[in-house]
Amino acid sequence: MSEISPEQMAVLSGKLRGRRAELLALLRAARKDSGRDNLQQASGEVGDPGDESLALQLVDLNLAERENEVRELRAIERALERMRENTYGDCIDCGCAIPYARLEAYPTAERCTECQARHERVYGGRDVTPTL
Ligand SMILES: [Zn+2]
């Protein structure tokens, strides 16, 4: 079970949403620079940069040159989804509560320090996050 207070959750949620807005702005700019209309399949022009469906459209794109940003955006979407489902802050491997200090430093953390270390030993130094 999560030990995070509603106030702490609000702080983390704010961090995630702020970072998401930054990434969306960056990916939008990248889309313009690329000279290709990557959003062709998305109907019409997209609206509010905070719009969740826009985020989902963008993460579906194959913005290979922005792989890191897309990966981070996906991680943020998953974190916000876990907040909605009240599972945020629980390690996805062992189910224990991830300490608030870790979440504050790394709001998209899905695992406790121990499980993350084990995960990285198995999958290499890079965080390989499973797709939804
Ligand atoms: Zn764990």
Total domain count for the chain? 1
Q: Output the CA 54–ligand 1 centroid distance in Å.
A: 32
* % of the chain residues with pLDDT over 70: 67
Query: Which residues lie below 8 Å from residue 36, measured CB to CB, with a gap of 6+?
Result: none
Q: What confidence score (pLDDT) does residue 79 get?
A: 97
Let me know if residue 52 belongs to a domain: yes
Range of the domain at 78: 6-123
Q: Which residues surround ligand 1, an ion (CB under 5 A)?
A: 91, 93-94, 112, 115
Q: Output the CA 51–ligand 1 centroid distance in Å.
A: 31
Q: Output the CA 117–ligand 1 centroid distance in Å.
A: 9
Let me know if residue 131 belongs to a domain: no
Q: What confidence score (pLDDT) does residue 132 get?
A: 41
The answer to whether residue 82 scores a pLDDT higher than 50 is: yes
Residue showing tokens 């109907």 = 43
Q: Output the CA 108–ligand 1 centroid distance in Å.
A: 14
Let me know if residue 66 belongs to a domain: yes
Let me know if residue 25 belongs to a domain: yes
Let me know if residue 129 belongs to a domain: no
Residue 10 backbone zone (phi > 0: left; psi -120 to 50: alpha; other: beta): alpha
Q: Output the CA 42–ligand 1 centroid distance in Å.
A: 38
pLDDT in tens, 13-40: 999 999 999 999 988 887 776 655 544 4
